[in-house]
Chain A
Amino acid sequence: MSDMVAENIQGMRRRAMTREEMESLQREMNLRAKRKKKIRTVSLLGANVVTAFIILLPLLYAVSIAFMPSGELFVMDLNIVPKHPTLENFKLALQRVPLVRFVFNSFLTAGAITLGQIISCSLSAFALSFLDFKGRNVVFMIIMATMMLPGEATIISNYLTISSWGWLDSYQALIVPYLTSAMGIFLFRQFYLSFPMSLYESAKIDGCGNMRFLVSILLPLTKSAIGAMAVYTFINAWNMYMWPLLVTGSNNMRTVQIGIGMLDSVDSQSITLMIAGVVMIILPSISIFIVGQKQLIRGMFSGAVKG
């Protein structure tokens, strides 16, 4: 009898101690885990910042040069940050060439090309993936084959065509040749192929025409693909150099990339000037990318990872 009581008490004490110990142990472990997590976060963040800094260094240096008086650039000692920051370069750049007009031209061209490509590529990709007609695969092959021709190979004949139509130095010349792209058709077709055919058939039985199907079902479902394609096309169009250089002759039609070239060609002392111009025109591209990057990344990977 008394033995049992003693055992009970001992058991109770032991249990109580264990619980206390457990609690403190738990607290300690929690603390340690938290500390570990914090260290990991901090070190990851540090590594990211350093990497980002290294990658961005040229860009940041360009921004800083844009604010330097031109005399300050060509000195022997290291100066990464301008000692006498000035807006003179920006002012001069804007005076020397009509940069605002150039930016407008670039926006117009790139915007029109993007819109045109989305429309034409989605339509042709729709035909190539949903409609059944003879020679469908042959047509697709031919379209794909055009991707193998480098742009430089066709640029002269394109120039001759455009000039024979009297389109030189006009918006048509900048926009029309780029209204469609094999790459875009390919991209859209791949997206559409992952669609169940029965969706299209069901819509057909429901009485829905092809255009309506495209607009009210297909496009909403391929938003991310369209976003990716739009960003990609816009940046490509914005960065065009060779073609605009060939077909435009007046300040009214030139795009920004050519404008930058013009800043360079006046005299070799104008590096700061040119970089100020670059910094100004880089802003639109970067802002487009920031707005569209989620779409871009999702679009690029959604084909690969089935979601």
Chain B
Amino acid sequence: MGRSMAQLELRNVTKRYENGFEAVSNFNLDIQDKEFIIFVGPSGCGKSTTLRMIAGLEEASEGEIWIDDRLVNYVEPKDRDLSMVFQNYALYPNMTVYDNIAFSLQVRRLPKKEIDNRVREVARILEIENLLDRRPKDLSGGQKQRVAIGNAIIRRPKALLMDEPLSNLDAKLRGQMRVELAKLHERLDTTFIYVTHDQTEAMTLGTRIVVMKDGRIQQADTPKMLYEHPVNRFVAGFIGSPAMNFLEGVVCCEEKKLWLRCGARMDFELTWCSVYSVLTDYIAKTVTAGIRPEDIYLEEEYRKMGQEEQKGLKAVKVTVTARELLGAENILYFQAGENDLIAKVGPECAYRSGEEITLYFDTKRMHFFDAGIGMNVERCELG
């Protein structure tokens, strides 16, 4: 499908609603051609508002929106050459699937022949050729979703905007559609901008993820970077499931080594930490340590490791409070000192609530955040 480049740029975009509420503040983002950008964040953080400003359904109160070197702040939605898929599909109930898909071309008075060709091509891509004569009310949720996507891609827009397109589907179908969206992105070679609060969708689909909170960008980065180098405590806690564990502790220096003291029986030697040099600035200060549930190991798992891997793992005595078997893995809830923590361990674990066991915390993969502002200490070094 031939089309022009699409570069999107948002500069200092702010949205203030009529009641004075600032839903998006000072939003800066460069979107390159063919990216799959994801906006994630808790409910009400301004994801939809940002998307709607890009689409032109909402006017930006301040700032500039550029599409391919054209300032589009005051350009009508239909002239921005973008299309959008809504959460509730927004199919026209009085039209057949065919007309729903063809509508945007019919409005633009393209020749019937060409419309027909394109509708059939889109229907083939989305595998809805046999549904073209139906009305939306006779379709299942997943089929409606496909039709809505068909309506959006038939125009070959510069970018495809989607606002939680899968949230009305059941879990299994959501998984399927997720895979198909990834395929579609590859096939269409179009920029996708996608809003979700499902982080699985975000991590699997996005080439870049924009994590938002209270109308501000927290971090815009690749999924890998977000996972491994979250800029602050919020991003660290938001990305990953189950969420990262946080421990308050004081950094101290003993026997020429750095230690993190997190209350009774919880001392972590920080020698193997990647941010060791930065932590030297935090001696005698409180930091928040973050460790992901998947970086905590059972004793059995620890024993199977090689010497090199065992380095930096710290044994901690804990009390199991609950266990959930999720098929291929176990989620272990436990208490260490006064902290309630979570570990993600192998399926063979059979501990019951109340049992005292030893778990191994991987200090190599610990993250450290400034206890006050919540910034990752590795960022403090950069800034």
Contact = CB atoms under 8 A, between A and B. Distances in A.
Contacts of B88: 196, 198
A205 B77 contact: yes
Nearest to B78: A207
Contacts of B56: 205
Interface string A87-102: 0000000000000000
A268 interface: no
Contacts of B55: 201, 205
A220 interface: yes
Interface string B6-33: 0000000000000000000000000000
Contacts of B366: none
B243 to A, nearest CB: 32
B90 interface: yes
B136 to A, nearest CB: 11
Contacts of A202: 84, 86, 90, 151
Contacts of A208: 78, 103-104, 107
A133 to B, nearest CB: 12
B282 interface: no
Given A198-B88, A202-B84, A202-B86, A207 B107 contact: yes
B365 to A, nearest CB: 43
Interface in B143-164: 151, 155
Contact of B78 (A199, A206, A221): A206
12 contacts: A198-B87, A198-B88, A201-B86, A205-B57, A205-B78, A205-B104, A206-B104, A207-B107, A208-B103, A208-B104, A217-B92, A221-B93
A221 B88 CA distance: 17
Contact of B92 (A199, A201, A207): A199
B86 A204 contact: no
Interface residues on A, range: 10 to 19
Contact of A206 (B57, B87, B94, B107): B107
* Chain B binding surface, main DSSP class: loop
A212 interface: yes
Interface centre among B87, B88, B92 (most CB of A within 10 A): B92
Interface of B: 55-57, 76-78, 82-84, 86-88, 90, 92-95, 103-104, 107-108, 151, 155
B94 A205 contact: no
B84 A205 contact: yes
A199 B57 CA distance: 12
B90 A201 contact: yes
A198 B86 contact: yes
Nearest to A217: B92
A207 B104 contact: yes
The 5 lowest CB-CB distance pairs between A and B, nearest first, are A207-B78, A206-B104, A202-B90, A198-B90, A198-B86
B77 A199 contact: no
Contact of B83 (A199, A205, A221): A205
Nearest to B79: A207
Contacts of A207: 78, 104, 107-108
A217 B107 contact: no
A204 B90 contact: no
Nearest to B84: A205
Nearest to A222: B94
Nearest to A196: B88
A29 to B, nearest CB: 39
A271 B173 CA distance: 74
A206 B103 contact: yes
Given A212-B107, A221-B93, 20 more contacts: A198-B87, A198-B88, A198-B90, A199-B90, A199-B92, A201-B55, A201-B57, A201-B77, A201-B90, A203-B103, A205-B57, A205-B78, A205-B82, A205-B83, A206-B155, A207-B108, A208-B103, A208-B104, A208-B107, A217-B95
Contacts of A204: 57, 76-78
Contacts of B82: 205
A182 to B, nearest CB: 26
Contacts of B95: 217
Contacts of A221: 93-94
A208 B76 CA distance: 11
Nearest to B85: A202
Contacts of B87: 198
Interface centre among A196, A204, A206, A220 (most CB of B within 10 A): A206
Nearest to B157: A205
Nearest to B161: A205
A220 B92 CA distance: 10
Nearest to A212: B107
A264 to B, nearest CB: 49
A217 B106 CA distance: 13
A218 to B, nearest CB: 9
A221 B135 CA distance: 13
Contacts of B78: 204-208
Interface string A179-199: 000000000000000001011
